[in-house]
Amino acid sequence: MRFRRIDLNPGSGEPVANSPQELLLGCHARIRHYIQLGRTLAGAQGVSEAEVADAAAAIFRYFSLALPMHESDENETLYPRICAVQPTGGLVLEAAETMVEQHRAINELTAELLALCATLDRSPNRLAQLAPTLDHVTRAMEQVFGAHLHMEETVIFPALADLFPPEVILEMLNEMNDRRRPPRSGLHLVQ
Ligand SMILES: [Fe+2]
Ligand SMILES: [Fe+2]
């Protein structure tokens, strides 16, 4: 597989989300993009060391800065509110519990990917040596995230509008946006 030109910052220039669902789905699109970039990097041939380092740094930046915010959206903004309104045994509550549980397994895989990308950012000449491990880890992430994102998109996100009144939906959106607000230093965090 050849390494083609990539968009290192697909979140830039996007309109502000109008709802928690829209914001969360935007995150999912970027999760899929960066996993795919990892898959592409694992199969890359004939690319410069600068391209390898750039791609590895972009993947590292996304999964170390943005994914934790997305998990906080789901673990800290969605989950407690779903627990408060869903009866025990409810389909959405069960899915939300599964979601939080799956985040732990996802974080273990993500830690492996981050270690690989940090190494490739520093030493891009090691791509050939690390490609099989990168291939293995990104394949596993593709599988685990595939089921995880699908469950959130088909069971949890569509239920939000039925479970919560508009003022609570707005409260959740504000909470998520606050999480992404640039710090006072002016540094801009990726979404
Ligand atoms: Fe999730
Ligand atoms: Fe998610």
Distance 55 CA to ligand 1 centre (A): 24
Q: Which ligand is nearest to the CA of 21?
A: 2
pTM confidence score: 0.88
Is 48 part of a structural domain of the chain?
yes
Closest of 137, 140, 99, 92 to residue 117, by C-alpha: 137
- Closest ligand to 24 CA? 2
190 part of a folded domain: no
CA distances for 25 relative to 31, 32, 100, 118, 147, angstroms: 10, 11, 17, 27, 15
Each residue of 30-83: pLDDT tens digit?
Answer: 999 999 999 999 999 999 999 999 999 999 999 999 999 999 999 999 999 999
pLDDT in tens, 124-167: 999 999 999 999 999 999 999 999 999 999 999 999 999 999 99
Q: Max alpha carbon distance in the chain (Å)?
A: 56
In a domain, 8, yes or no: no
Q: How many domains does the chain have?
A: 1
Residue 185: inside a domain: no
- Identify whether 137 is part of a domain: yes
- The rounded Å distance from CA 8 to ligand 1 centre is 22
pLDDT band at 12 (very low <50, low <70, confident <90, very high): very low
User: Nearest bound ligand to CA 27?
Assistant: 2
* CATH number, residue 110: 1.20.120.520
Q: Ligand 2 centroid to 27 CA: how many Å? A: 7
Tell how far the Cα of 112 is from the centroid of ligand 1, in angstroms: 18
Residue 6 belongs to some domain of the structure: no
Residue 9 lies in a domain: no
Query: In this structure, is residue 112 part of a structural domain?
Result: yes
Q: Which domain, by its residues, includes 133?
A: 20-180
